[in-house]
């Protein structure tokens, strides 16, 4: 494995090598010549100072700042104490060993952070904007929504937008973890952070740089470190109490035995010094946050953004996952499957429906407009649109009020209508107070939804659907997917109430997955909110604790798997570190182990714990092969 060291790490390595050479020379000289005590101290101080002068310096400086019980202080006292009682070679060798462990620890930590940093290196430094017929290179922050940008093959998309000219294949791995390229053409929505693999694209920007997908991702990852899990907070508090307590015990261990037993003071002091070295809790203080950091980075590689270690800890304890249906478990790509007029023609019904939905970009609205256009049915653009949350919309067209929505909207406006027991979404239409009929619209289940539900069941997790759809549509989807329970015809506030009921039942933590604006309240209320990030509503993404960048529900299984693995690593590190320290503390107190074992219990355990924590990073996403890229580019 090729490990590239930083300038600081190289300097530390050279010092360690120099200290080892000086120590070997000192050992040879001390065995060959009969040297007086001052000379012995002098020759062993050379390797000691070469390896550990910065440790002693930090210890003195930290004492001046009131930070007494840190690892620098403990190591300085222990090694200088060893030399003071005549263990010259041991004092110098332990300092060298300690610094060697620190170097390995530093390398491991740096590699972990670089892995996440490289993953997050998806924000381009410049963009080409087309202004006045000229190509101008500027920073992405200088480009306003609505401007036209050009992205050539091999370049990263700097901003979110819609393609107005050109076609290409996009590598979305940095956002979604998906290795296969995505084909795009004019009219498709694209996200910043993707890499353009082939043709030149002209894109109309839709968001400013600060609100683009790539900026939000970076902000989420940067903020994640500030949201500590309970395990991290516990370890921080534990270290503040534990270390001073052990230092006090070391003082008693040095002073009391010579007074009450026949143990020599030098032996008692060495036991106390060993005790001090072991007491440093750096294995816990460093490796536990590193485990969460690695888990967050590993999840990011697979298109799952976790906004903090606290959410990862909660996710590992999830016992129930609640799903919104449309856009979460289903594609949200609707098509008209049945037109049921009431006292009018199908053309008249569809014309009124398309007029009502002409001001909306909702998938249901687009399906109604598309059906009218396919049938070449004319319709008027409506005005005065009003959204009735959880029910539908009202507007005015040609002097008449049009209502388009569910049964609740009709009932709220005193419209007599015919109930339809259909498996899709039923949109009722009324104009001028008269019921015109209903249109049945069907959605298709996402390819991985069934597998997601099945895997969650295997993980012992209960699944629930909360939807505003009709009872027939909701229950049909639940049967098709194998969901444990479904609640239908719910308003946004009803979803919150139902989620609270499930949370109150106390069967583990409750996660909610959704993508719409109306899902934001439930996302905030759930123990863990999971949003579909690629094309989900901004309000849902902001309210969520976890964002799935590829909009695939299977990302929930991935996220729970990573969280459980990460928490498992955290528990392993805590148990291993405390177990080894407890054993060596006990044996040091009775003089069974020496300072070498003490240093292993400190530095060695820290290195092993950090290497274990790095497993949380997981493997990099599989890069597409040449064979996979060629057809995509063609």
Please give the positions annotated as active site.
324
Helices 605-613 & 282-301 angle (0-180, nearest 10): 10
Residue closest to 91 by CA, chosen among 600, 596, 610, 623: 596
CA distance 620 to 552: 19
CA distance 237 to 208: 42
Helices 37-64 & 7-32 angle (0-180, nearest 10): 150
- DSSP bridge partners of 445: 330
**Token pair listed for 43:** 């020759």
Residue for token digits 């924590």?
Answer: 613
Contacts of 10 (CB under 8 A, 6+ apart): none
Give the single-character DSSP code of 210.
G
- The SS3 assignment for 21 reads helix
Q: 264-272 long-range CB contacts below 8 Å, 24 or more apart? A: 266/85, 266/86, 267/591, 269/81, 269/85, 270/81, 270/82, 270/85, 270/87, 270/591, 270/594, 270/595, 271/588, 271/589, 271/590, 271/591
CA distance 339 to 324: 26
Phi, psi (rounded to 5 degrees) for 335: -140, 145
CA distance 315 to 330: 23
Q: Residue 352 CB: number of other CB atoms within 10 A?
A: 29
End-to-end distance of the chain based on CA atoms, in angstroms?
36
What DSSP letter does each residue of 239-254 carry, written as one string? HHHHHHHHHHHHHHHH
Residue closest to 278 by CA, chosen among 235, 233, 247: 247
Strands in 467-584 per DSSP E: 485-487, 509-514, 528-532, 546-548
Say if CB 559 and CB 452 are below 8 A apart.
no
- The SS3 assignment for 441 reads strand
- DSSP bridge partners of 435: 430
Give the single-character DSSP code of 196.
E
Count of all residues that appear for the chain in the document: 634
Say if CB 297 and CB 268 are below 8 A apart.
no
**Token pair listed for 263:** 């143990």
- The SS3 assignment for 92 reads helix
CA distance 181 to 168: 9
CA distance 489 to 472: 10
The whole-angstrom distance between residue 434's C-alpha and the CA centroid of its chain comes to: 51
């Amino acid at each position: 494995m090729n490990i590239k060291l930083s300038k600081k790490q190289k300097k530390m390595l050279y010092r360690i090598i120099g200290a080892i050479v000086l120590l070997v020379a000192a050992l040879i000289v001390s065995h060959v010549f009969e040297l007086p005590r001052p000379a012995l101290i002098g020759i062993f101080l050379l390797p000691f100072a070469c390896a550990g002068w910065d440790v002693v310096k930090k210890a003195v400086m930290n004492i001046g700042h009131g930070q007494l019980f840190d690892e620098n202080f403990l190591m300085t006292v222990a090694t200088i104490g060893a030399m003071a009682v005549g263990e010259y070679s041991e004092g110098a060798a332990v300092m060298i060993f300690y610094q060697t462990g620190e170097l390995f620890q530093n390398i491991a930590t740096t590699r972990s952070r670089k892995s996440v940093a490289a993953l997050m290196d998806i924000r381009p430094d410049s963009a080409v904007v087309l202004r006045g017929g000229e190509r101008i290179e500027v920073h992405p922050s200088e480009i306003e929504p609505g401007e036209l940008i050009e992205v050539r093959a091999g370049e990263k998309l700097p901003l979110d937008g819609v393609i107005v000219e050109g076609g290409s294949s996009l590598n979305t791995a940095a956002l979604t973890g998906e290795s296969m390229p995505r084909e795009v053409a004019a009219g498709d929505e694209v996200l910043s952070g993707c890499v353009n693999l082939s043709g030149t694209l002209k894109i109309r920007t839709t968001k400013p740089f600060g609100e683009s997908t790539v900026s939000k991702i970076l902000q989420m990852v940067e903020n994640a470190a500030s949201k500590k899990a309970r395990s991290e907070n516990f370890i921080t508090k534990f270290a503040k109490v534990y270390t001073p307590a052990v230092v006090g015990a070391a003082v008693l261990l040095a002073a009391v035995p010579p007074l009450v037993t026949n143990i020599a003071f030098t032996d008692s002091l060495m036991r106390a010094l060993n005790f001090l070295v072991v007491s440093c809790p750096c294995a816990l203080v460093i490796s536990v946050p590193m485990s969460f950091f690695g888990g967050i980075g590993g999840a990011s590689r697979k298109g799952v953004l976790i906004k903090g270690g606290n959410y990862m800890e909660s996710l590992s304890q999830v016992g129930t996952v609640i799903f919104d249906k449309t856009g979460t478990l289903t594609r949200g790509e609707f098509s008209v499957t049945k037109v049921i007029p009431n006292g009018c023609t199908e053309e008249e019904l569809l014309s009124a429906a398309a007029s009502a939905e002409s001001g909306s970009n909702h998938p249901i609205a687009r399906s109604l407009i598309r059906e009218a256009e396919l049938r070449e049915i004319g319709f008027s653009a409506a005005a005065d649109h009003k959204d009735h949350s959880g029910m539908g919309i009202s507007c005015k067209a040609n002097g008449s009020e049009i209502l388009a929505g569910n049964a609740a909207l009709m009932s709220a406006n005193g419209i007599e209508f015919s109930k339809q027991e259909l498996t899709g979404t039923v949109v009722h239409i009324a104009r001028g107070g008269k019921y015109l009929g209903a249109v049945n619209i069907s959605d298709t289940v996402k390819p991985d939804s069934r597998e997601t539900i099945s895997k969650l069941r295997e993980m012992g997790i209960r699944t629930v659907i909360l939807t505003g759809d009709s009872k027939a549509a909701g229950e049909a989807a639940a049967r098709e997917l194998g969901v444990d329970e479904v609640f239908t015809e719910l308003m946004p506030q009803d979803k919150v109430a139902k989620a609270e009921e499930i949370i109150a039942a106390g069967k583990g933590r409750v996660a909610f997955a959704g993508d719409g604006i109306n899902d934001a309240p439930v996302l905030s209320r759930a123990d863990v909110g999971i949003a579909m990030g690629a094309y989900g509503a901004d309000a849902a993404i902001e309210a969520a604790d976890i964002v799935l960048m590829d909009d695939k529900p299977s990302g929930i299984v991935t996220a729970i798997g990573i969280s459980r693995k990460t928490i498992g690593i955290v528990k392993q590190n805590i148990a291993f570190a405390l177990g080894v320290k407890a054993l060596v503390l006990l044996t040091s107190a009775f003089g069974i182990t020496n300072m070498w074992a003490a240093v292993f219990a400190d530095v060695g355990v820290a290195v092993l714990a950090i290497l274990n924590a790095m497993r949380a990073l997981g493997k990099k996403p599989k890069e597409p092969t040449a064979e996979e890229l060629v057809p995509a580019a063609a």
